[in-house]
Structure 1
């Protein structure tokens, strides 16, 4: 993310000047599903109030190193201190956060005698912040809370810290997630840490915070949001409410992601994509699928950007699932008013969208080869997201699918 312009006014001052204008907009509101969400330009100004509502008197701001060096994070700290809420910043987080990052965050929380978490940034910061908030009150190791069976019952809920989540990208939707994806560097896999109470207490969706995000990251994170909504829509489980949210999220991405990528200062487009990202993550309680089952091991093995992996994998996984989702995709195509309202028409739209956003067509273009195809097939088969795929693929089928994505055979 590039730095904001120098001489930037306080975020609070900015928001006061914009408030009357944005209150009448179509992208300003208070939502109470699936948690308390405050959406609108300038609503970062309400952070101190949110802290006070939750009883946070000395929060720890969890963010990533790049953001910690930018004026926006420094200004957030200044604004909180000015309003009587001292805080510190923890930013020792990798792009794919690992166990050591969480351990270090817990140490910072306890040593600083903090009483809450402000998770500020992209998916890595939000996932890490939620995991730190979970672990500050636990005596068991992190992996004891992996999303397997009823492991979540091991959590001492009353000792978890409260969380305010503030995304600065529009993709992961981690701000409304009940889990964190953390890399186990010893096993070279990503593990999902889950508890229902990991859902942040308050979310602030302020598209102003995404200004300056480069076009490539805007595209990759937006395609990540699309992968969430699309896999949720295609999942075989019965959850019509989630399906309804998913198709509207896909429409918003179709209409606004190209705009947000082409013009990073288009606040309406950025606000709509930010809403779509939150919707996609709300919808995927219905399930995810093969895109994520493959993206997780690839991210762990190659430390590649999760959203970009999903964007590249998308058409290959769709094609492999064609026989199970033809009618669903045709229905979705009609809702999107595509010129060709069929599976083929939808797949062509996905390919055209990726090309428009400068997404690579194959995994080999980002330095991934087929040397570990067998391992990746097994890891994808064992990934929790595989359970939500429309077709139950074998490890060998995942391996072959991966090879097609490497070689660009779609």
Structure 2
């Protein structure tokens, strides 16, 4: 399998060490040793726990002489209690590192467990606000090896974890530079079994990361370049991955686009994510799917600030209509082609949620990266438009 897809195999150091290519999960024990891990805790989610890929990974580790334990009690939108439960197992087993294996939920929970393994303050004291990350004892952060099984969040190359605070039902970002995994195994074969609807939702999450990073007003030419190519890869390969899930080339390019999105969004995100986070914490919606639903509504809202940027991206992506409207039309057609709903109402978000959700969106850290300044009233309007399907 590796020989057949040799052109899509490589070792990268951008922004961390990545072992990319089909079949490279066999290198998991080597990656752990390179990260200084001898007793890993493998963190995954309940859906992956019974699958052969998890048992095979544990077998690979044991064959490589590494003692491994498994933790999979993770909610789809991880909560603080998930991190506490994982920490108990980590400490009881005297583990010295974490393997985060799965999609965004496993990545977030596992990275938070590794981060908190040597801290003494409550996790919420390290939220991504001002310089709160400097409160952490960097020496107390366990090394992380990341194995993504979805192509969406890009958390395998990220420096943060998103955890729901049960006290107020808000998603909070826990950040520290040392939360970035030191080794990544990006094996597209691990994503082949994803159902089409999950492939679509996670792929649109990758697109939202690249797109919002590109539209963010902050100066970061490197981020812009990565984001542009990430969007182009999504355009070319997401429909293929959804239609033909066994296409390893498509899976590989989408896995790359996912990592690119998370690399680019160090530049910033925006209102798509600010709208999406309250929906996930209050209604349990899938994060990538929610981003996909609100995407065109946010683009139209931001038109005055991003019209020239999206026309430029339309040219780079060789869209038929190389204008702002042409770009939005592409988004709408892509959503239709891969089965994304048109409204938030279709995924369980109703008008009754707006009074609670709009202030939460305004307070979300992603709001600071939106191309236009936001207000609670603007978020109320965006929620209403996205629920009722008014693209104005």
What range is the shorter-chain TM-score in?
A: over 0.9
Distance 2:189 2:368 in 1: 37
Distance 1:153 1:54 in 2: 23
Distance 1:88 1:124 in 2: 18
CA 1:401 to 1:42, structure 2 compared with 1: closer, same or farther past 3 Å?
same
Q: TM-score, normalised by structure 1?
A: 0.94
Which runs of structure 1 show a deviation greater than 2 angstroms over 4 or more consecutive aligned residues? 18-23
Instruction: Report the CA distance between 1:55 and its aligned residue.
Output: 2.1
Of 355, 378, 392 in structure 1, the residue corresponding to residue 336 of structure 2 is 355
Distance 2:326 2:272 in 1: 20
Distance 1:261 1:208 in 2: 15
1:274 is aligned to: 255
Distance 1:215 1:54 in 2: 34
2:3 is aligned to: 20
2:278 is aligned to: 297
Residue segments in structure 2 that go unaligned for 5+ positions in a row: none
* Cα pair 2:5 2:249 within 8 Å, conserved: no
1:209 is aligned to: 190
* Cα pair 2:285 2:348 within 8 Å, conserved: no
Distance 1:53 1:289 in 2: 36
2:39 is aligned to: 58
Q: Is 1:345 paired with 2:345?
A: no
Structure 1 segment 5-16 matched on structure 2, within 5 A? none
Structure 1 segment 237-386 matched on structure 2, within 5 A? 237-386=218-367
Distance 2:358 2:347 in 1: 19
Of 106, 111, 120 in structure 2, the residue corresponding to residue 139 of structure 1 is 120
Of 389, 402, 410 in structure 1, the residue corresponding to residue 383 of structure 2 is 402
Question: SS of the counterpart of 1:192?
Answer: strand
Deviations 1:221-261 (CA, angstroms, capped at 9, x unpaired) = 00000000000000000000000000000000000000000
Distance 1:270 1:372 in 2: 36
Distance 1:368 1:50 in 2: 42
* Cα pair 2:45 2:74 within 8 Å, conserved: yes
Instruction: Report the CA distance between 1:57 and its aligned residue.
Output: 1.2
Instruction: Report the CA distance between 1:374 and its aligned residue.
Output: 2.2
Instruction: Report the CA distance between 1:86 and its aligned residue.
Output: 1.5
Distance 1:22 1:345 in 2: 34
RMSD between aligned residues: 0.7
Instruction: Report the CA distance between 1:22 and its aligned residue.
Output: 2.9
* Cα pair 2:271 2:366 within 8 Å, conserved: yes
* Cα pair 1:374 1:396 within 8 Å, conserved: no
Residue segments in structure 1 that go unaligned for 5+ positions in a row: 1-17
Instruction: Report the CA distance between 1:19 and its aligned residue.
Output: 3.1
Deviations 1:380-403 (CA, angstroms, capped at 9, x unpaired) = 111100000000111011111110
Q: TM-score, normalised by structure 2?
A: 0.99
Distance 2:29 2:230 in 1: 30
Distance 1:375 1:67 in 2: 33
Of 173, 183, 189 in structure 2, the residue corresponding to residue 192 of structure 1 is 173
Instruction: Report the CA distance between 1:52 and its aligned residue.
Output: 1.3
Task: State the aligned residue count.
Answer: 391
Of 206, 215, 219 in structure 2, the residue corresponding to residue 225 of structure 1 is 206
Distance 2:366 2:241 in 1: 29
Deviations 1:201-230 (CA, angstroms, capped at 9, x unpaired) = 001100000011000000000000000000
Question: SS of the counterpart of 2:174?
Answer: strand
Instruction: Report the CA distance between 1:343 and its aligned residue.
Output: 0.6
Distance 2:56 2:167 in 1: 37
Distance 2:286 2:348 in 1: 12
Deviations 1:78-132 (CA, angstroms, capped at 9, x unpaired) = 1111121110110010000000000011111000111110000000001111100
Of 134, 158, 180 in structure 1, the residue corresponding to residue 139 of structure 2 is 158
